[in-house]
Structure 1
């Protein structure tokens, strides 16, 4: 069972396994059709496509009309239905990949852990690592699969609400880590959300700092050293980003480092900054 990362060479040995489901998670936050177009142009053999906006996220507004962020968590039953349609069962090994160092694939990895499915991994290095070994891509649609029987179980991962993050500003009991690029964290060059800045008291750990130059994750001991410089106990840490997607990359890196237990704030900055009553900080701290 693979529960964090899988190498391209290991995946190649299982690419035709009937109880493995491979999912292409490529996406673009600005061009929402780019991921599907890239998938159509060529994907790993047997891979399905996951739509970030409709399958890996839920409605942006709740039943009360309140904005929940750009990528709120999907309804759990709806997500399970998607997995069953993909042919995922309780013992299925799911492998997520993208072409962005795991930026989007980590979201599916985390969601599977959120419904208690342990056999979930990200292709280390993504599509470029697969191609670097000379493995082919396919233009063929995936073969029809029988519906899977996966059921939601107790989650392996915790979450926090916006109210809990707001309360934490006063108590400072937990360390908030923001996965966005440093300039966006400081409130500079914000082009996605309407307000620049960060949650007061948060610290910055750009998700791309989890990667080596070739797009694969750094070694566990290096990640452990780097994260140890910003958090003392992952169980007292909250991971967030712009919309709850790249924060999952930091959560995956923590698992690789052997530092489990951090929580995800799903709404992240996009939810936080939608209410002018919530405080905003700028600069490095």
Structure 2
């Protein structure tokens, strides 16, 4: 039995471990994250004008495409600049290995201890950096041609299309209501999560003060961050709920306050994650279940209508 199972395990290891190695090589591909961002930006910049063929939909697609192009290009340019600086250091190290000592026709003893592996690794690093710099130029051109061309086409279509405001409002209303429903659950989650994490951080700080007798002032920063997150998410939640009842819903106010709430929430969660991460995950389970049940209830009510 054991002799028959062992070849099976070996076959599975060869297949899946080789795939895992290929996956690790794929993850280490230069600018892979920017290619993923390019795909996401292209998807949203294309799908929004298709689903919402109004002037606002076209302008929103234009803004997403151009902002994505600028972000991707800036990130690639920064990585390319750091690669060029690293390449200069590698070239200097290689020239130091190849240059003989003054007054003698051969290198100094400290450079002849093990020069071959150092030179080989530096040459491989140089080739990698050169390839990364060339790839950065190709991706910059590719991003400018695709997202820049897409944004230019959307802007031209938005400027030149005939406008009928009543028809546009009729088309925009279902989309805006769908976005507002998403905002409703997002801001409700941020609000309740901030309250839970604020209580957890308060008890963590109180316990630390009980054990040590003092607390560093920097420990109060998470409490301030969660308080700001509660304020901004509460305002955004109230604005979202009020606009859901209007005939002409808008997104600007709740989007603005929601960005501030999301900024303070994510930064503060990242700051306190190692302190109360596991506890907060357990406490969030009923919150997620309650919001999911509320969403299911709202969906069934809409189906009955």
| TM-score of the alignment, normalized to the shorter chain, above 0.5 | no
TM-score, reference length from structure 2? 0.20
More helix by share: 2
CA radius of gyration, larger in: 2
Larger RCO, structure (CA 8 Å, separation 6 or more): 1
TM-score, reference length from structure 1? 0.21
